[in-house]
Amino acid sequence: MIATLSTPGAVGFTNLPPLALYIHIPWCVRKCPYCDFNSHAAGPELPEDAYVTALLDDLDQELVAAQGRPISSIFFGGGTPSLFSANALGRLLRGVEQRIPFAPEIEITLEANPGTFEQDKFKAYRQTGINRLSIGVQSFQPAKLEALGRIHNGDEAVRAAGMARAAGFDNFNMDLMHGLPDQSLDDALGDLRQAIDLGPTHLSWYQLTVEPNTVFWNQPPELPEDDILWDIQEAGQALMAEHGFRQYEVSAYAQADRAARHNLNYWRFGDFIGIGAGAHGKLTFADGRILRTWKTRLPKDYLNLAKPFKAGEKLLPVDELPFEFLMNALRLTEGVEAELFTQRTGLPLEQLREARHAAEQKGLLQVEPDRLVATPRGQLFLNDLLQYFLT
């Protein structure tokens, strides 16, 4: 039987969460068949200047959400943000800092595709203040890259890591997929070993899933059987641990002190302003409101001065806050301090008591009064665990 939660009244906040900024650049060279992100194939010329201007205008309309907080991290996602020039991104970052101060030691991440790497371009990115890269490798093997519709090859992925270091990036992530069409255990571990040899500080390693509204959804590839997927997962995690990569989230592994601060803020139910076509945000206000926001998806509509940037917003009902908080926090392998629940939602921890006890009895939640953390079984069956916290 699923325990239910009571529905308290809304409360205010004396301390607001940290604030991050997400910037969506929606263009890519070619849409990948597995991709369900808001991305669009680029034409012969990108409207860089117009888009940067629109992004700053969009941010101007969001400034009320800052409420005196500096920005702790910035993440350029896409699409392929590295299609934009360093001049365009530099103008954007200067404009952002003029509007909202940057926190000391701010983390600024740029997603980049190996097929877009140019040494001088990435040195210029580093000079703008971008200090972390996330390189979308997915695989080093030609057949796998072709099946995924990637525009780069394995050699370009290898060179990209070297160019990143030469450009001054001592902190970079590599994205890798496993469970690819016709992938064996040796194939998957070969990709991981190759990535580890290139010296990233962070690995995002996740299983290919077939999502609606993608080419793969309509033309599904033949994926490995469950037994092979399980063997890949176990062996891959052991290999990364052997090389100093600690798993801190379902699909994120980092060297010591190199966990992505932007991602941690997200999983810990921090705030983030989202600007750009299709960007999402989550904002907390001192009066007790917590909003989800989303922007116009199509670039042509986002750039149309006659149309609003914001496509919609949703006030999170108080009775949905426990689920919203735990949907994020329980993805972290070490969970979160129990008191963070009250700090981020404004709700008393006592409200979770019955549901916590029921989940603990099922072996899905650790019996730790001072922390909210899933058991290894709870991590595997996270959706089942979260059901206990639905109203």
DSSP per-residue codes, 107-143: EEEEEE-GGG--HHHHHHHHHHT--EEEEEEE-S-HH
Between 216 and 92, residue with greater pLDDT = 92
Query: Rounded mean pLDDT of the chain?
Result: 93
Q: Kindly give, in sequence order, each residue whose CB lies less than 8 Å from that of residue 251, ignoring residues fewer than 6 positions away.
A: 204, 205, 206
- Strands annotated E in the chain: 19-25, 27-28, 40-41, 71-78, 102-112, 132-138, 172-178, 202-207, 246-249, 252-254, 271-275, 280-284, 290-295, 310-315, 336-337, 371-372
Determine the Cα–Cα distance for residues 342 and 348; give it in Å rounded to an integer.
Answer: 6
The mean-pLDDT minimum among 32-41, 102-111, 208-217, 373-382 falls in 32-41
pLDDT in the model for residue 3:
40
Q: What is the percent of the chain with per-residue pLDDT over 90, rounded to a whole number? A: 81
Confidence of residue 11 (pLDDT cuts 50, 70, 90): low
Determine the Cα–Cα distance for residues 25 and 90; give it in Å rounded to an integer.
Answer: 14
Between 39 and 260, residue with greater pLDDT = 260
From the list 103, 121, 115, the residue with the least C-alpha distance to 32 is 115
**The pLDDT of residue 10 is above 80:** no
**The pLDDT of residue 8 is above 50:** no
Mean pLDDT of the 364-381 span: 96
**The pLDDT of residue 167 is above 70:** yes
């890591």: which residue's tokens?
161
Between the alpha carbon of residue 283 and those of residues 98, 147, 340, the distances in Å are 21, 39, 16
Peptide bond into 276 cis (omega under 30): no
Contact 207, 179 (CB under 8 A): yes
Mean pLDDT of the 338-356 span: 96
Between 223 and 36, residue with greater pLDDT = 223
Determine the Cα–Cα distance for residues 266 and 260; give it in Å rounded to an integer.
Answer: 10
CB atoms within 10 A of CB 136: 25
From the list 274, 331, 254, the residue with the least C-alpha distance to 59 is 274
Confidence of residue 61 (pLDDT cuts 50, 70, 90): very high
Contact 72, 18 (CB under 8 A): yes
pLDDT in the model for residue 151:
82
pLDDT in the model for residue 4:
40
pTM: 0.94
Longest dimension (CA), the chain: 60
pLDDT in the model for residue 13:
84
Between 11 and 388, residue with greater pLDDT = 388
Contact 302, 274 (CB under 8 A): no
Amino acid at 187: D
From the list 326, 323, 337, 330, the residue with the least C-alpha distance to 368 is 337
pLDDT digits (tens, 9 = 90+) for 74-123: 999 999 999 999 999 999 999 999 999 999 999 999 999 998 888 899 99
């263009």: which residue's tokens?
27
pLDDT in the model for residue 145:
87
